[in-house]
Structure 1
């Protein structure tokens, strides 16, 4: 894209996106925030669902040879139930299954309401009528909620070019927050959409952009006469909000659509742009508005709008906690998208946007460990894709892992969705992922001057025209007919969503991690009398896992769900066979009173010289000849940008470097050991998570996606140590709690 054309969006990225830079080498396990959503390069559970091929029997990319085997005698980890959706209290928010629609790119149902421009490769004609036409098809995926990208009016400014109009089409820079953009429809059409969705038992959430707006937004007063500020920093046609000056205006916005249209809440765009102390004001206002109105749901019951709010904070767990959730003493928002877990999921079953991935199944447990950074009221929300991310299918192709004609391509999709079904808390599907949508001919990241013109920059390439069964994508076009593979995947997704309804332990249950290694992953979920075992094979080779009944707390048969075969207990063990990329769910019909039997564990304090917390410092910089720091996504780490003295290594002799760090609370983050200029980057071999008190192999870790993760289970002082090898490109590291 030419610099002239990218100036608007680049300016807003700097001013508004609150980007926390990649630090020259690491990205903290996340990708940089999107450039202000503009687009610039920089219901029956039934038998017979085939999770193995998904395309009628094509098995390319999967190994049908000798199976991988593993034996599990004790549970790896007994997890606590500290987060809201792990407590089994039946919160409806925990079983939310959102379906995200990018309005301008979805379905054209009204030829008089079109943008005809935008980012991505869609027809750019999407509108509210197209969504109404698609409600039955959307609901058939098994979701129970709808999230629309912003629909408020963006008024052109004098002389704006097509790049500003493309930004308008996203809706993320609104002028008039109290009226629907006529290029999407009318206020009456939105009310119709909400009422029709509610009649089907679906919640409706709008996209709230409360941290920035279009430069002319101050010209459009609220119904109560409030106007937006004009002093916030400007970039292109956008301006940053000013708090607390704009607080009352946005409180009126947030409550107006609940009170007048009975929407059920908000997805909150770039939530870190609003100072965290004001989220309590906004959340409380929405809850109050929801309590004052009601509607009739599909069961004929009179209910209040849900009042749910979920934050987009595109960063590591520490930033999500500090900018979104707040603290236990001062709660801010109650839910935020779980970007760290999303990256763990795609790193394991595909590749992340940077191209690194195909990691061990144990990487999924590392994703869960990040949740230790969140306060107890948190309800993380897991997604596979959104409008700023590359679709899962395109990531498979980017990694050279599978193509749409391969059975493995569909099986990996099913594996990812099965993991989402096991997730405690709300989940979000991005339109088209349920049918394996991808952009033909796109795979490699494109950073040349024309990607925005062609609609294939990573931050908007997933904004494709919708594939909705039985619905024309544009007015006058024939109705869409799914291929057998697409229909099979959609059917499987719907079965998983029904499974979450039937088994509350999945959406709202405590999780005990039983076992994971390179290939397999095993969890137990519990709430009340509902006990479910989830087993996933994350690799291309068939797997047979032998599990002791005591390890999972079971004394009888495992009753298979989704039409699978039950597994009997024989000599105190279960033998579970898994096809490549297969996820299986079982009811633990005879749970033992003691539950899963955990192993002896090694504690948090290691042994040997790498565990010493009092080793004297030796003069000089040692064999590396430079200072290294723990650089990461911890609080105060500036998302890998900072090099604080409190995390600077000292040389201790014998090729050993150490620093003692005070961790004041339970937390989790990603990190590298890196120099200030990023000329040296080290982490656990293969970006594996840290096992506290264990010596682990270390290697060079240059570039994004090579960082390691750590979960700090209790407050205290921890020594971070590494021993560099003779060639200065690896060695061993350890993290150990000090006495």
Structure 2
């Protein structure tokens, strides 16, 4: 980090390099980007009002002569393991907010703005509509009985409606239906080719849960920390109880597995016990699927650990030597996705397309058995449409609103591993006027807080949302988006390279993004324009390993190979999937190795320290999501910068393994926060400008492909 005084401000630059004598980085470093010619006309700016289907008159042009990096085959889905889990396309339903079809099963209160009357019958009635979106699995938020305690207030009743603090883990809450109704739902879903996953809350429960013994007579502990009407689980005391819960619903109801709420609350060493118990239960029973085949429940388990990649790895996946869970939601990639095509909840975003590659590189922090699951929204996050409005990027009446949604779904469909679709996102659902209604003082009362604003009444084509209401009719724009999502899901189903293929990142810059996906004889090129200006990508056939035409998998149009080049035209926010009809034996040709070593005073890892704090007058630390970083909370001595003189600050850190994390350069009291300008990812062995980065969403990402100092 180099600090240079100017007349107006303190300008900073940062360099990350390997110490002299460390790895050269000849295999796996970050090469320089391919040459790019052309650019965006200075008079054309991104505008939410640009018609996404109309040529704006000026195109951004990129020329790609060599691919940018090698394939990453670390993850289970990339290696071909985890099938059919890698091909999972989950549809999340928040039961109390979804569809009301049984007037005898109502919550009548809850968080968010829904009718709070959703039930299992409403889900059953919607199964055909859910299936028609192209998904192949259903995830229900918790349905177990939350029994009121004496004198509880409306806020406790609202919490009961969510199901996330259950009392009786072996009974369906009558506000949702009955155990028999759940069995009917599972059987009906299986008959339609849908897997069924329940929400497993194994780290906390309601204070009266110990009053409800399991079928085998086990009871939950009462010594865990209590807060309100909830209590924390205690391990290993509660392990056998939750093993019985996890296996009971597989054995008796043939569910296919679990979504694991706040999985970090369960000590990581016990996830192996729970996972192997579920796998054993699934192997002992079977059901008849939509094809008339006798199959075992899938036994898939996916963790919610809402944190950075290091925490997800250490608290969910475990290590290669001591594996815990195999799948967890890919929160880091989700944030990269919304930062690129919208804004994140903090309001920062609208970043360049290369931010997607930064998101993928976070997966370097995961062990080899990891199988991340990507979502765009869930019940705790703000819907994508509301984020577009928060960032003043588009409104529902703008074509860019729908085009940005389509772009986001195209990224998901090109993702190796399971993906999850939150109900309503397939029709661009949002809370009208949410951006104007935000008010932290009253948001809970009005149902518009960030953590529950997406819990809206369902919009399901052809299905009444409440008892006695007319059947829902979609607007033309909603119907078009839903059709597009179904087309993408069918494409993902038909092309194993998308869900279960290796990924070679070809190129990305501020505007465009290219990946090649490969699985056996299936070779697909994904190209995205992340901006409101039309784009033309001229890519050499050698860069992507193509010796002939490319064929658009959604439209059928061909992109010819002319004098060794493909010219791919992209509308604003358009994602295209192109099959490589004539792949070369050599595959994509990588560019020159970039290495991890640098030159000059910023690359001297043995520079002597100078007394004092230098011009900053503050101690600065690397604060981030690395192991031991307490998710930006810690300021360890081995991540503290020392002043080296000549306005240079430096810290030498040992990274014992390949890793990735997000971070800022910040003081212990957060009075100074800096990151690479624009939240851009670190490019190793390159000097990069840095700027003030106060507040969430402005951190930078870092991928370290080799161990060392």
Shorter-normalised TM-score: what interval? Answer: over 0.9
Report Cα offsets for 1:153-205 as digits up to 9, x if no partner: 00000000111000000000000000000010000000000000000010000
- Per the alignment, residue 578 of structure 1 pairs with 570
- Per the alignment, residue 335 of structure 2 pairs with 343
Query: Is the CA contact (8 Å cut-off) linking 1:628 and 1:673 kept in structure 2?
Result: yes
616-625 or 460-469: bigger deviation: 616-625
Matched, 1:273 2:265: yes
Which among 289, 296, 312 is matched to residue 288 of structure 2?
296
Matched, 1:177 2:174: no
Q: CA deviation at 1:230?
A: 0.3
**Aligned Cα RMSD in Å?**
1.1
Aligned to 1:290, what secondary structure does the other structure show?
helix
Tell me: CA distance 1:241–1:157, structure 2 relative to 1, closer, same or farther (3 Å): same
CA distance in 2, matches of 1:443, 1:431: 20
- Per the alignment, residue 528 of structure 1 pairs with 520
Which among 392, 404, 407 is matched to residue 415 of structure 1?
407
- Per the alignment, residue 106 of structure 1 pairs with 98
Aligned to 2:440, what secondary structure does the other structure show?
coil
Aligned to 1:603, what secondary structure does the other structure show?
coil
Query: Is the CA contact (8 Å cut-off) linking 1:390 and 1:462 kept in structure 2?
Result: yes
- Per the alignment, residue 651 of structure 1 pairs with 643
Q: CA deviation at 1:58?
A: 8.5
- Per the alignment, residue 476 of structure 1 pairs with 468
Aligned to 1:121, what secondary structure does the other structure show?
coil
Matched, 1:198 2:159: no
Detail structure 1 runs of 4+ shifted over 6 Å in the superposition: 60-63
Which among 639, 651, 675 is matched to residue 631 of structure 2?
639
Aligned to 1:443, what secondary structure does the other structure show?
helix
Counterparts in 2 of 1:608-687, with a 5 A limit?
608-687=600-679
Query: Is the CA contact (8 Å cut-off) linking 2:512 and 2:529 kept in structure 1?
Result: yes
* TM-score computed with the length of structure 2 as normaliser: 0.92
Aligned to 1:157, what secondary structure does the other structure show?
coil
Which among 210, 213, 237 is matched to residue 229 of structure 2?
237
CA distance in 1, matches of 2:52, 2:317: 44
The number of residue pairs the alignment matches comes to 661
Query: Is the CA contact (8 Å cut-off) linking 1:151 and 1:184 kept in structure 2?
Result: yes
Which among 355, 360, 371 is matched to residue 352 of structure 2?
360
- Per the alignment, residue 432 of structure 1 pairs with 424
Q: CA deviation at 1:59?
A: 1.9
Query: Is the CA contact (8 Å cut-off) linking 1:62 and 1:540 kept in structure 2?
Result: no
CA distance in 2, matches of 1:155, 1:540: 51
- Per the alignment, residue 378 of structure 2 pairs with 386
427-436 or 440-449: bigger deviation: 440-449
Aligned to 1:651, what secondary structure does the other structure show?
strand
Query: Is the CA contact (8 Å cut-off) linking 2:559 and 2:568 kept in structure 1?
Result: yes
Q: CA deviation at 1:654?
A: 0.8
Gaps of 5+ in 1: 1-56, 718-739
- Per the alignment, residue 257 of structure 1 pairs with 249
Q: CA deviation at 1:295?
A: 0.2
Q: CA deviation at 1:88?
A: 2.7
CA distance in 2, matches of 1:154, 1:250: 16
Q: CA deviation at 1:602?
A: 1.7
Query: Is the CA contact (8 Å cut-off) linking 1:61 and 1:406 kept in structure 2?
Result: no
Report Cα offsets for 1:415-453 as digits up to 9, x if no partner: 000000000000000000000000001015834321111
CA distance in 1, matches of 2:554, 2:591: 31
Query: Is the CA contact (8 Å cut-off) linking 1:194 and 1:204 kept in structure 2?
Result: yes
Which among 116, 130, 134 is matched to residue 142 of structure 1?
134
CA distance in 2, matches of 1:684, 1:651: 19
Report Cα offsets for 1:21-76 as digits up to 9, x if no partner: xxxxxxxxxxxxxxxxxxxxxxxxxxxxxxxxxxxx98279871200000000111
Report Cα offsets for 1:690-731 as digits up to 9, x if no partner: 0111111111111111110000101100xxxxxxxxxxxxxx
Query: Is the CA contact (8 Å cut-off) linking 2:170 and 2:214 kept in structure 1?
Result: yes
CA distance in 1, matches of 2:222, 2:623: 37
- Per the alignment, residue 165 of structure 1 pairs with 157
CA distance in 2, matches of 1:120, 1:548: 50
Aligned to 2:273, what secondary structure does the other structure show?
helix
Gaps of 5+ in 2: 1-48
Query: Is the CA contact (8 Å cut-off) linking 1:445 and 1:458 kept in structure 2?
Result: no
Query: Is the CA contact (8 Å cut-off) linking 2:94 and 2:141 kept in structure 1?
Result: yes
Aligned to 1:191, what secondary structure does the other structure show?
helix
- Per the alignment, residue 487 of structure 1 pairs with 479
CA distance in 1, matches of 2:590, 2:543: 7
444-453 or 330-339: bigger deviation: 444-453
Matched, 1:69 2:73: no
CA distance in 2, matches of 1:61, 1:664: 49
CA distance in 2, matches of 1:188, 1:138: 21
Q: CA deviation at 1:559?
A: 1.0
Query: Is the CA contact (8 Å cut-off) linking 1:381 and 1:427 kept in structure 2?
Result: yes
Query: Is the CA contact (8 Å cut-off) linking 2:145 and 2:166 kept in structure 1?
Result: yes
Which among 281, 284, 287 is matched to residue 276 of structure 2?
284
CA distance in 2, matches of 1:346, 1:649: 32
- Per the alignment, residue 119 of structure 2 pairs with 127
